[in-house]
């Protein structure tokens, strides 16, 4: 698998997940985040490939467009790759091998607290809570242990109020947020997006000084 990201311009790496409106995509672009996610799994944020293409049009080649899937069939993956053409496929680590994905595809493996946390891992993972998009905070202590071995993008229950503490605790390479920047389930709040990005970048600067 190819490394999953283009090089970032600043720390930390920031991904905003669950894009459903043009306003959310515009805010992501204005804040110059690194990636935006489009959900193709059961969720209030689920979009069709057609809708994802509409939303992603203004962001293509400016940031990474991520297809977020969980427990997909190979046919579903093939459809998303063919019709949406994501820069990155985000999928659980333990599902990757069985899907026999194209070698040229950039993949962001998702880890969750559990026994597999001690296995051999890719150089970069997204460390998530038990249920994606639920707002449940993941195990920061375990994430910090993983971050000593590989680059961790921390997700799960993050919001503008706790992202700085999370970055300091985990020493995360990046952060990923969805429900923590919403005004209601599935609807992103541009003010919260700005607050989250600002807080994350200040925390990363503090770590590096």
Domains of the chain (ranges; CATH) run 13-207 (3.20.20.70)
Q: What is the mean pLDDT of residues 42-54?
A: 97
- Would you give the distance in Å from CA 18 to the centre of its chain? 9
Instruction: Tell me the pTM.
Output: 0.91
pLDDT for position 4: 54
- The residue among 3 and 174 whose pLDDT is bigger is 174
Place of tokens 């193709």: 40
Query: Tell me, what's the pLDDT at 42?
Result: 93
pLDDT of residue 116 exceeding 70:
no
Decide if pLDDT at 10 tops 80.
Answer: no
Query: For residue 179, what are its two tokens?
Result: 């429900």
Residues in the chain: 209
Which pLDDT does position 209 carry in this prediction?
73
**Of 152, 41, 30, nearest to 89 (Cα)?**
41
Per the structure block, which two tokens stand in for 57?
Answer: 């049009």
Q: Using one digit for the tens of pLDDT, what is the confidence trace for 57-105?
A: 999 999 999 999 999 999 999 999 999 999 999 999 989 989 989 989 9
User: Mean of the pLDDT values across residues 191-209?
Assistant: 94
Which runs of consecutive H residues, i.e. helices, occur in 31-73? 49-56
Distance CA 181, CA 72 (A): 26
pLDDT bin (cut points 50, 70, 90) of residue 133 is low
Question: Looking at residues 105-116, what average pLDDT do you find?
Answer: 85
Predicted local confidence at residue 9, as pLDDT = 53
pLDDT of residue 3: 45
Count each helix (H run) and each strand (E run) in the chain, helices first.
7, 10
Span 106-117, mean pLDDT? Answer: 81
- How high is the mean pLDDT of the chain? 91
Q: Is the pLDDT of residue 19 over 60?
A: yes
Q: 193 by DSSP, 3-state: which?
A: helix
Overall average pLDDT of the 164-180 stretch: 96
Which residue intervals of the chain are DSSP H helices?
A: 22-30, 49-56, 74-83, 93-99, 140-147, 163-170, 190-207
pLDDT for position 7? 47
Any idea which of 2-16, 107-121, 139-153 has the lowest mean pLDDT? Answer: 2-16
Q: Is the peptide bond before 41 cis (omega within 30 degrees of 0)?
A: no
The whole-angstrom separation of Cα 46 and Cα 20 is 8
């Amino acid at each position: 698998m190819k490394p999953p990201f283009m090089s970032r311009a600043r720390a930390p790496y920031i991904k905003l997940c669950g894009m459903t409106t043009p306003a959310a995509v515009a805010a992501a672009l204005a804040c110059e985040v690194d990636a935006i996610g489009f959900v193709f799994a059961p969720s209030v944020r689920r979009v069709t490939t057609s809708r994802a293409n509409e939303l992603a049009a203004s962001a293509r080649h400016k940031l990474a467009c991520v297809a977020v899937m969980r427990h997909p069939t190979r046919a579903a993956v093939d459809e998303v790759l063919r019709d949406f053409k994501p820069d990155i496929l985000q999928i659980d680590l333990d599902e990757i091998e069985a899907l026999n994905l194209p070698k040229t595809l950039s993949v962001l493996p998702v880890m969750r607290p559990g026994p597999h946390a001690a296995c051999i891992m890719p150089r970069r993972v997204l460390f998530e809570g038990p249920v994606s998009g639920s707002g449940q905070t993941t195990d920061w202590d375990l994430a910090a242990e993983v971050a000593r071995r590989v680059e961790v993008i921390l997700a799960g229950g993050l919001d503008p109020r706790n992202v700085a503490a999370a970055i300091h605790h985990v020493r995360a390479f990046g952060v990923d947020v969805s429900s923590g920047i919403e005004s209601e389930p599935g609807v992103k709040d541009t003010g919260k997006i700005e607050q989250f990005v600002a807080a994350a970048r200040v925390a990363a600067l503090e770590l590096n000084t």
